[in-house]
A = this chain, B = another copy of it.
Amino acid sequence: MAQTDTVTRILDTAEVLFAERGFAETSLRNITSKAKVNLAAVNYHFGSKKSLIQAVFARYLDPFSERFHAALDSVEQQYAGRQVPLEVLLEVMARTVLEVPAERNSLRTFMRLLGLAYTQGQGHMRRYIREHYGTVFSRFAELLKLATPDLPDNERFWRLHFMLGSVIFTFSGLDALRDIEEAEYGHHTTVRELIQHMRPVVVAAMAAPLPASLGDGEAVTQAAS
């Protein structure tokens, strides 16, 4: 009880502060003083700041990974060997993402964290995520490949990450964007609606025509590395 309390309080506080300000900008003292636990408790329960960061991720990604596997199982069974359409795949992913953090503000936090994992943490987070969640990601990528058989592998790879970028960027900056939206257009979009907005865009993006053969003269002319 006391232990669960401390560990949970640390994780709850850490995920909020990490999401707000990044890993390096959040000190253990920030976390422990806000969580009202002893500074040494982090090292006692988690071993190091690095491990705390990973634990914060695991609390989201472990259930996500499990549910996503289950959802893919279910949809594969449903399609019984036939190709699962792109729309369905995206729908499954969206639903799973939304299921995981049913409470409070945690979808935004989850997305911010995912974004941080890509843009901060000199590799150790990326390595951790690949090691622990690479399987489910690969499985999704495999199904995506079947759903878009005409797309070259390389092209699909980049489009997948364009899509991920859209989603993560949008959700992780959601508050700011909603503020602007409200000031500019007097409209407030719910997360649910936002996902409705995203769907056709993502589908169209994945289905876009291939780029003109690269290096064509009429295009961009100067470039670097």
Interface size class of A (residues with CB under 8 A): 35 or more
- State the oligomeric state as a number of copies: 4
Tell me whether B24 and A159 are in contact (CB under 8 A): no
B106 A115 Cβ-Cβ under 8 A: no
User: Which one of A7-15, A51-59, A71-79, A188-196 is at the interface?
Assistant: A188-196
- Chain A 34-70 interface mask (CB, 8 Å, partner B; 1/0): 0000000000000000000000000000000000000
Chain A interfacial positions (CB closer than 8 Å to B): 21-22, 24-25, 91, 94-95, 98-99, 101-108, 115-116, 118-120, 122-123, 126, 153-155, 157-159, 161-170, 172-173, 176-177, 180-181, 184-185, 187, 189-205, 207-212, 214-216, 219-225
Residue in chain B with minimal CB distance to A225: B105
**16 A-B Cβ contacts within 8 A?**
A91-B220, A95-B220, A98-B221, A98-B224, A106-B225, A108-B224, A115-B119, A119-B169, A123-B176, A153-B185, A159-B201, A161-B177, A162-B201, A168-B169, A199-B219, A201-B208
Give the CA-CA distance A123 to B17 in the complex, in Å. 15
A162 close to B198 (CB less than 8 A)? yes
CA distance A126 to B91 in the complex (A): 33
